[in-house]
Amino acid sequence: MTEGIEVVGVYVEDQDEALEFYVGKLGLQVHTDVRNGDYRWLTLQHPGQPSFQLGVFRPGPPMHDAATAQALRALVAKGAMPPLVMTVADCRATHAQWRERGVEFTQQPVERFGSVDAGFRDPAGNGWKLIQARR
């Protein structure tokens, strides 16, 4: 049996909008997209990392009551959630490519700590760091 973390999630207001962003702009692929009533289990994968999934979830039932869901949506929109990190071979080239696709960056590529990194947010407000993998 293989053990480990398989899915890490982010909260979004609109799963269809998130799907368009993560697949259409960042190049992730759909792993699972199933519904049970109003609940939708949507997970995505990076093409180079098939054993790990990013869950894209909407706050609400069955996990949260209405007040908690509203508070989570507000925190995400403010950018208060911890940033996620994606590594790439060339941060500047990926930044240019994704900017052409309409990704809005909060930080342009900058050299620091022996690498290059940039920052962006998804449509819900989740913060991301794009970091050039060390050679």
C-beta of residue 83 within 8 angstroms of C-beta of residue 92? no
pLDDT at 104 over 90: yes
Give me the pLDDT at residue 72, please: 96
Q: How many residues does the chain have?
A: 135
The pTM of the full predicted model, rounded to 2 decimals, is 0.92
Domains and CATH numbers, the chain: 7-132 (3.10.180.10)
| Dihedral in degrees, nearest 10, Cα atoms 111, 123, 70, 128 | -20
pLDDT at 69 over 70: yes
Mean pLDDT of the chain: 94
pLDDT in tens, 39-67: 999 999 999 998 899 999 999 999 999 99
DSSP the chain: ---S--EEEEE-S-HHHHHIIIIIIT--EEEEEEEETTEEEEEEEETTEEEEEEEEE-S-TTT--HHHHHHHHHHHHTT-SPPEEEEES-HHHHHHHHHHTTPPEEEEEEEETTEEEEEEE-TT--EEEEEEPP-
